[in-house]
Amino acid sequence: MVTAQALLSKMLFLYLIPNPGDIVAPALFWYIQGAGKHIIVDSAGSAKDLLENSRSGGWKDVNSFEACLAKVGITPDEVDIVIQTHLHHDHVRNTPKCRNAKIYVQKAELEQARNPHPVNGNMYRWFAKYGRDLVYEVVEGDYELFPGIELLFVPGHSAGCQAVAVNTDRGRAIITGFCTLYENFDPPASFNAPTPVICPGIHLDAAQAYESLLRVKEQADVILPMHEPLCAAEEYT
């Protein structure tokens, strides 16, 4: 589900790929239908929310959070679980609206939000005002949330990023958590990439991020990158 989008350089997603062009990148969150619960993965934010902490201008609203949830017949108060892949500002700003939800986050990510490294500190500026008083369900490492729904520890893009693996009729689908495009997992020949995957352009630890990409690529039947425009298409929303 898409709340906002912006024209961004692909360099934000494709580390050391020169002049890869621009992309209309969506701010996405996901709804998981299963386990008898209303589960969302991340919560995105409005254009106003994203511009508060963004170095990249041009965010425009697509749908409100409430309108997105209405497509699956629920309100923010009916969300049971929010899985936060990480706590960068563009993934969390609607989470406080889910007043009855349990919020799952990795321990390392919560620690980073509370005391961010200067390299990516601006991504966590929202936390002091909007996130510090939220109640979190803290996990550490891989974690089975329900049968068929697993949290995978995939650090690198951020200190405590987690992907979400879901068993579906199309196989094991993995919502990456880290901010990537399909091109990160299957680099086109024109990139002349020296490696089978491309590290995210924004990262705290490039080597960790690379290994996390490889892990997802090897384990997923279906890969759902966090800012891939094709994932904003109707069949994914």
Confidence at 232, pLDDT banded by 50, 70, 90: confident
What is the predicted pLDDT for the residue at 148? 96
Confidence at 57, pLDDT banded by 50, 70, 90: low
pLDDT digits (tens, 9 = 90+) for 79-136: 999 999 999 999 999 999 999 999 999 999 999 999 999 998 999 999 999 999 999 9
CB within 8 A of 71, min separation 6: which ones?
1, 237
What is the predicted pLDDT for the residue at 53? 78
Contact 32, 40 (CB under 8 A): yes
142: its two tokens: 């891989």
Contact 202, 12 (CB under 8 A): yes
What is the predicted pLDDT for the residue at 38? 97
Mean pLDDT of 213-218: 98
Mean pLDDT of 174-186: 97
pLDDT digits (tens, 9 = 90+) for 29-54: 999 988 899 999 999 999 999 998 77
What is the predicted pLDDT for the residue at 58? 85
- Exposure string (b/e) for 211-231, b if CB count within 10 Å is 16 or more? bbbebbbeebeebbbbbbbeb
How high is the mean pLDDT of the chain?
Answer: 94
Q: Which residue has the tokens 């007043």?
A: 99
More confident residue, 196 or 52: 196
Question: Is the confidence at residue 234, as pLDDT, over 90?
Answer: no
What is the predicted pLDDT for the residue at 237? 43
User: In degrees, to the nearest 5, what angle opens at C-alpha 161 toward C-alphas 198 and 232?
Assistant: 65
198: its two tokens: 């491309």
CA 59 to chain centroid: 17
**Domain architecture of the chain: domains with CATH:** 2-236 (3.60.15.10)
% the chain with pLDDT above 90: 90
With CA atoms as reference, report the closest residue to 20 among 212, 178, 157, 183.
183
Mean pLDDT of 152-179: 97
87: its two tokens: 């706590």
CB within 8 A of 222, min separation 6: which ones?
168, 170, 171, 172, 173, 174
Query: Which amino acid would we find at residue 93?
Result: R
Question: Is the confidence at residue 235, as pLDDT, over 60?
Answer: no
* Secondary structure (3-state) at 230: helix
What is the predicted pLDDT for the residue at 34? 84
With CA atoms as reference, report the closest residue to 83 among 128, 51, 127, 37.
37
Q: Which residue has the tokens 């094709």?
A: 230
